[in-house]
Chains A and B, each alone.
Chain A
Amino acid sequence: MEYKNETKNCQNCKKDFIIEPEDFNFYEKIQVPPPTWCPECRLIRRLAYREDRPLYKDKCDNCGEDIISVYNENNSFPIYCPSCWWGDSWDGTDYGRNYDFSKPFLEQFKKLLEIVPYQATSQKNSTNCLYSNGNTRCKDCTLSFDGYESINCYNCQGSGFSRDSIDSDIVLNGDHTYETLSSDGVYNTKFVYFSDECLDCSFLFNCVGCSHCFGCVNLRNQKYKIFNKQYSKEDYKKELEKWDLGDYKILQNAQEKFWELYYKLPRKYAFITNSYNIKGDDIKSTRNCQTCFSTLRGVENCKFIFLGGLLLKDSYDVNFGGVTSELLYEINGCEKSQRGFFSRGCNESNDIEYTDKAYNCSYLFGCTKLRNKKYCILNKQYTKEQYEELVPKIREHMMNMPYVDKLGRIYRYGEFFPSGFSSWTYNESWAQKYFPLTKEEALEKGFKWYDEKKRDYKITIKAENLLDHINDVSDSILNEVIECEHNGTCNEQCTTAFRILPNELGFYKQMNLALPHLCPTCRYGQRIKKKNPPKLWHRKCMCNGVESERGIYKNTIKHSHGDSPCQNEFETAISDERREIVYCEKCYQAEFV
């Protein structure tokens, strides 16, 4: 069937959005109705279903052991420690129930969600990972989340094949990295952002193949450069002595000077490498993908993906998904799965709909926390024939008797779970990281909000009273409770106080780094702000011919468009309210590559 662009009004934000012919083809292929929410609202709705931190102290509802959990104390459902959850003492089908055609499906599903045990934290084949969640094959990591094959990392998020790193996010092959973000193959790096294959460097942005560089932006295969200025090996060493990062004040100065340089130089409209036919940002080895963010390695024919990779194919609206998966739609966290729709946390499963956490399952509809099951509806076991007969009836029932939330939004078959079903509140979830809201705004939009309990830490030292130089700091700092500089005034789930761990202190001394003045959560919050939001703006290249708009940057070479302004337009994740000078690919390449 031939489709045309169709403009629809979002049920949630009431703004118009367009569904393109290729989208209709996809919906037809997987036999789901077109969405009634716009892509951004759908993304936020899914992000509200993901949380890594904060962590809470709790007790396992099965064995009574003290545990660390990702769920706050206001939740009424049972929480099991990982060993009880994976144990054989319970089974998800024990909670199975008959489908009731007198009530909306999602209302029945919500009831089920409230009684089936949740896993406090999920870790796969990891050893000695304390206060961590979502790690796979990691060792000795503390306060680390979604790590893969990493060793000895602290306060890291999404680090893969990394070791001995602190405060680093989305770093692959990192070794001795501190405050490093979205980088691959980096060793002995401090404050390095979106840079690959860099060694012994500090303060880098978008550099590749550099070593012994300090405070540099947009460099390729360079050595001995300080603030983009070339030095000889000897002069570099002499000059670097002035930038002793072990001193907090010098560290602050270096940071200021680095960001000053960053804002003076043009930035490419998007980070896209080894990819073609792409619209999005932070993309590597991907093809035929539109409106995708942070995807890598073999993502193909997809749309509206946020954080996906390793052979994710023919999928729409997926967050945190991939690893040989295909035909996914409205999915939050899925690995090695096929034909999964409107579900969360499903691994090695196929043909699942409206399911929350399933491992090695197939043919599930409206199930939660199942392992190794087939043909289940609302956690009740059916035969293949019964399942195939009942599911079409439920889909039809969902269309005729939809769930309606407090704000009057209608959830027919084809919609992801309502935000109110999430086990997390808006301010705990990933949604707050990229689409921050105030408490009033979140409640108005139908999200839940968690009012943090007042913490009663006995502060022994204020951050401002910490010794300036790391060499002056003795081991007695390990006994201190340090007050975070934000002291709960920020929007970053500030823990208000923190301690320095022995390994952490050793790392700062080895790397010659001043002690941090912010708690780990605030440091993470500050770092994530350097990432672009998963959102696109239509903009024009800021190259005016011989210089950038507002004359901040003077071009060093004549561009293909001559002295007249560049006419190239693009979709970028950098909004026009930001200070950066944004160049199109051609102008950027002319200047820097």
Chain B
Amino acid sequence: MKTLKTKLEYLKQVLPMLWQTVKFRIKVWWHKIKN
């Protein structure tokens, strides 16, 4: 149970980081199109 909780907490921290990377890639792609 504790391991699962730790893993969930880890995902809670890691997923926003991954989302940030995806967001950044989309932002760069859009920026390249616009300019």
Q: Do A and B interact?
A: yes
Using a Cβ–Cβ cut-off of 8 Å, how many residues does chain A contribute to the interface with B?
A: 17
A323 to B17, CA, bound (A): 13
Which of A199, A310, A324 contacts B27, CB < 8 Å? A199
B10 with A200: CB separation less than 8 A: no
Q: B1-35: which residues lie under 8 A (CB-CB) from chain A?
A: 6, 9-10, 13-14, 17, 20-21, 23-24, 27-28, 31, 35
B14 adjacent to A173 (CB under 8 Å):
no
Interchain CB contact under 8 A, B13 and A173 = no
A311 to B6, CA, bound (A): 9
Query: Is A187's CB under 8 angstroms from B28's CB?
Result: yes
Q: Determine if A134 is an interface residue (Cβ-Cβ < 8 Å).
A: no
Could you say which residues of chain A place their CB within 8 Å of the CB of B24?
173, 175, 185, 187, 197
Q: A161-B21, A185-B20, A297-B17 are in contact. Are A175 and B10 (CB under 8 A)?
A: no
**Per-residue 0/1 for A318-332: is the Cβ within 8 Å of any B Cβ (1 yes, 0 no)?**
000001100000000
A298 near B: Cβ within 8 Å? yes
Please determine whether B27 and A185 come into contact, CB atoms closer than 8 angstroms.
Answer: yes
Once the chains are docked, how many angstroms separate the CA of A167 from the CA of B21? 21
> Bound state CA distance, A161 and B19, in angstroms?
12
CB neighbours of B23 from chain A (8 A) = 185
Chain B residues near A161: list those with CB within 8 A: 21
Cβ of A297: which chain B residues have Cβ within 8 Å of it?
13, 17
A311-B28 Cα distance, complex, nearest whole Å: 29
Q: How far is the CA of A262 from the CA of B29 in the complex (A)?
A: 31
Interface residue? A211 (CB, 8 A):
yes
Chain A residues closer than 8 Å to B31, beta-carbon distance: 187, 199-200, 211
- Nearest CB of chain B from residue A285's CB, rounded to whole Å: 8
Residue of B14, B20, B24 with most chain A CB atoms under a 10 A cut-off? B24
Min Cβ gap B12→A in Å is 8
Per DSSP, chain B at the interface is helix
Closest to A174 in B: B24
Q: Distance in Å from the Cβ of A339 to the closest Cβ of chain B?
A: 14
Nearest A residue (CB) for B14: A310
Q: How far is the CA of A298 from the CA of B20 in the complex (A)?
A: 16
- Given the known interface contacts A173-B24, A187-B28, the answer about A311 and B9 at a Cβ–Cβ threshold of 8 Å is yes
Please indicate the chain A residues that have their CB under 8 angstroms from the CB of B9 in the complex.
Answer: 298, 311, 324
Q: Give bound CA distance, A435 to B31, whole Å.
A: 41
In the complex, what residue of chain A is closest to B31 when comparing beta carbons?
A: A199
Question: CA of A199 to CA of B29 in the docked complex: distance in angstroms?
Answer: 11
Task: Give chain B residues whose Cβ lies under 8 Å from the Cβ of A175.
Answer: 24, 28
Residues of B within 8 A of A311 (CB): 6, 9-10, 13
Task: Closest B residue to A323 by CB, please name it.
Answer: B10
Which residues of A sit under 8 angstroms from B6, Cβ to Cβ?
Answer: 311, 324
Q: How far is the CA of A187 from the CA of B31 in the complex (A)?
A: 10
Q: Binary interface profile of A, 230-262, with partner B (CB < 8 Å = 1, else 0)?
A: 000000000000000000000000000000000
Please report the C-alpha to C-alpha distance between residue A187 and residue B27 in the assembled complex, in whole angstroms.
Answer: 9
Distance (whole angstroms) from the CB of B28 to the closest CB of chain A? 5
**CA distance in complex: A17, B23 (Å):** 46
Tell me whether A199 and B10 are in contact (CB under 8 A).
no
Closest partner residue, chain A, to B30 (CB atom)? A199
Measured in the bound complex, the distance between the Cα atoms of B35 and A424 in whole Å is: 49
Rounded to whole angstroms, the CA-CA distance of A199 and B20 in the bound complex is 15
A151 CA to B14 CA, complexed, in Å: 20
Contact partner of B35 (CB less than 8 A), chosen from A184, A185, A197, A200, is A200
A173 touches B20 (CB 8 A): yes
Contact between A310 and B21, CB atoms less than 8 A apart:
no
Task: Identify the closest chain A residue to B35 (Cβ).
Answer: A200
**Of A172, A187, A310, the contact of B13 (CB 8 Å cutoff):** A310
- Chain B residues with CB below 8 A from A184, complex form: 20
Which residues from B are CB-within-8-Å of A199?
27-28, 31
CB of A176 to closest CB in B, whole Å? 9
In A161-194, the 8 Å CB interface with B consists of: 161, 172-173, 175, 184-185, 187
CA distance A199 to B32 in the complex (A): 10
Name the one of A173, A200, A323, A324 contacting B21, with C-beta atoms under 8 angstroms. A173
- Closest Cβ of chain B: how far from A402's Cβ, in Å? 37
Nearest CB on A from B4, distance (A): 12
Contacts of A211 in B (CB 8 A): 31
Closest to A186 in B: B24
Question: Would you give the 0/1 interface string for A197-218, flagging 1 where the beta carbon is closer than 8 Å to chain B?
Answer: 1011000000000010000000
Docked complex Cα distance between A124 and B23 (Å): 26
- Chain A residue with the shortest CB-CB distance to B17: A297
Question: Inside 8 A of A187's CB, which chain B residues have their CB?
Answer: 24, 27-28, 31
A20–B34 CA distance with the chains assembled, in angstroms: 56
Question: CB-CB < 8 A to B17: which residues of A?
Answer: 297
Nearest-CB distance from B34 to chain A (Å)?
Answer: 10
Nearest to B10 among chain A residues (CB) is A324
- Indicate if the CB atoms of B10 and A310 lie closer than 8 Å: yes
Cα separation A298 to B35 with both chains bound (whole Å): 37
CB neighbours (8 Å) of B35 from chain A are 200
**A161 CA to B14 CA, complexed, in Å:** 13
Q: How far is the CA of A173 from the CA of B20 in the complex (A)?
A: 8
Q: Which residues of A contact B14 (CB under 8 A)?
A: 310
Q: A175-B24, A324-B6 are in contact. List 5 more A-B contacts (CB 8 A).
A: A185-B20, A199-B31, A310-B13, A311-B9, A311-B13
Question: What are the 3 closest A-B residue pairs judged by CB atoms, nearest first?
Answer: A173-B24, A185-B24, A298-B13
Q: Which residues of A contact B (CB under 8 A)?
A: 161, 172-173, 175, 184-185, 187, 197, 199-200, 211, 297-298, 310-311, 323-324
Query: Would you mind naming 25 contact pairs between A and B with Cβ atoms under 8 Å apart?
Result: A161-B21, A172-B20, A173-B24, A175-B28, A184-B20, A185-B27, A187-B24, A187-B27, A187-B31, A197-B24, A199-B27, A199-B28, A199-B31, A200-B31, A200-B35, A297-B13, A298-B9, A310-B10, A311-B6, A311-B9, A311-B10, A311-B13, A323-B10, A324-B6, A324-B10
